[in-house]
Amino acid sequence: MHDSDSEVADSGCKVEALQFLSDPSHELEQLKKYPVVATVFVKYNTSVPSSAPVERLFSQAGLILTPRRNRLSDESFKTLLLLKKNKNFE
């Protein structure tokens, strides 16, 4: 695909997204009129099929919130948990 072709496709996506956002209907059926928006909706608005990621997060939280660390503020606890879970994303 040439640069001009991708610009046209990008422009078409933007136009469709703007039309979708300005549509007064709030029904799920309206997605049939906007195939690009529908594709993005299905890709990013689906639930996780497993509870395993949440269970791993609770497990890590249990390792951080120990009896010796029982006075951590909510913000400190959240920061420690996020740092521990995201340490491999350097």
- Residue 69: DSSP 8-state: G
Sheet strands (E) in the chain: none
CA distance 52 to 25: 37
CB atoms within 10 A of CB 72: 14
For position 26, what pLDDT does the model report? 82
CA distance 73 to 68: 13
- The string of pLDDT tens digits covering residues 50-74 is 888 889 999 999 999 999 998 999 9
**Is pLDDT at 84 greater than 70 in this prediction?**
yes
Please tell me the pTM assigned to this model. Answer: 0.43
- Of the pLDDT bands very low, low, confident and very high (cuts 50, 70, 90), residue 46 is confident
Instruction: Please give the average per-residue pLDDT across 4-14, as a whole number.
Output: 75
- Residue 34: DSSP 8-state: -
